[in-house]
Amino acid sequence: MPRALWFKELRETLAVALIALLAYLAFVAGHAGYPVLPIFSGSSAEGKLPFLDGAFLPTFCFVSVCFAIALGLRQTAFESGRGTWLLLLHRPVGLRKLIGVKLAAGLVVYLLCGAVAILIYAAWAATRGTHASPFEWWMTVPAWKAWIAITPLYLGAFLAGIRPARWFGTRLLPVPVAGMLAVLFGVPQWRYLGGLWLIVSLLISACLVGLIFFVARTRDYS
Q: What is the pLDDT of residues 67-79, one digit of tens each?
A: 999 999 998 887 7
Is residue 167 pLDDT above 80, yes or no? Answer: no
Q: Whole-number mean pLDDT of the chain?
A: 80
| Polymer length in residues for the chain | 222
The yes-or-no verdict on residue 128 having pLDDT over 80 is yes
* Structure confidence by residue, pLDDT tens digits, 8-34: 888 989 999 999 999 999 988 888 877
Query: Which residue has better confidence, 162 or 78?
Result: 162
Domain hosting 90: range is 2-218
Q: What is the CA radius of gyration of the chain?
A: 19
Give residue 215's pLDDT: 87
| Cα–Cα distance, 222 to 216 (Å, whole number) | 13
Query: How high is the pLDDT of residue 71?
Result: 95
Nearest CA-CA partner of 190 in 141, 157, 156, 119: 141
pTM for the model stands at 0.84
What pLDDT is recorded for position 222? 61
pLDDT beyond 90 at 53? no
Number of domains observed in the structure of the chain: 1
